[in-house]
Amino acid sequence: MVTIRVYDRNAAAANAGPNQNLCAPVANATLAANAATAPAIGTWTVVSGGGAFANANSPTTTVAGMVIGNNVYRWTIVNGPCPGATTTSDVTIRLFNPATAAASAGPDQSLCGASSTVLAGNAVALPAAGTWTVVAGTATISN
C-alpha cells in the first residue's frame, strides 16, 4: 500500500496569535494560532520561559507551568515538500507578579541653584517597566 499526501502550496504561514499579559497566579493560558492545512502539521515549542502544552499539535492548546516574566512560545507549521514548507511565528505571554512593590518615586527634594539631581525611585521587577514623567513644570529626564 502506498500513501500519497497532497500539500497545499498556498497554505497560510504560521501565525502564533496575539501576545498576552497576565497576572499570576494563572493555572494556564489558551494559545490562538492558525490551524495548519491538512496534511501539514503544526507544533508548539517553548523558546524561553517555561510551560507545558496540553496538546503541542493543537493551535488553540492551553499552556501551563509558565514562569514570572516573559514566556515565549513558537508555532511551527511544516507543509511537506512545498516551497517555503516550514514557517514559524512566536507569541509572548508576560506573566506579572502581583507581589511586586508599588511604584515609589523616592523622597521629595529641595534644590537651590542646581541644574540636575538624581531621582531615587524603587527598582522594577521584570517584566514590569518603570517610566519617569514630568507632572508639573519642565524637565529633561535621562537615564
- Residue 136's pLDDT is 86
Residue the block writes with cell 501576545: 19
CA distance 24 to 43: 26
pLDDT in tens, 71-114: 999 999 998 887 888 999 999 999 999 888 888 888 988 888 88
The H or E element containing residue 92 is strand 86-96
Secondary structure (DSSP) of 25-88:
--SEEE--PPPPPTT-EEEEEEEES--EES-TT-TT-EEE-PPSEEEEEEEEEE-TTSTT-EEE
CA 79 vs CA 2, 21, 74, 122: distances in Å: 20, 31, 16, 50
pLDDT of residue 110: 87
Whether 51 contacts 66, CB under 8 Å: yes
More confident residue, 15 or 138: 15
Does 126 or 32 have the greater pLDDT score? 32
pLDDT at residue 106, rounded to an integer: 87
Peptide bond into 127 cis (omega under 30): yes
Taking only the tens place, the pLDDT of each residue in 40-56 is: 999 999 999 999 999 99
Most confident of 34-38, 107-111, 134-138: 34-38
| The pLDDT value given to residue 89 | 98
| pLDDT at 29 > cutoff 80 | yes
Three-state DSSP at 20 gives: strand
Q: Is the pLDDT of residue 2 over 80?
A: yes
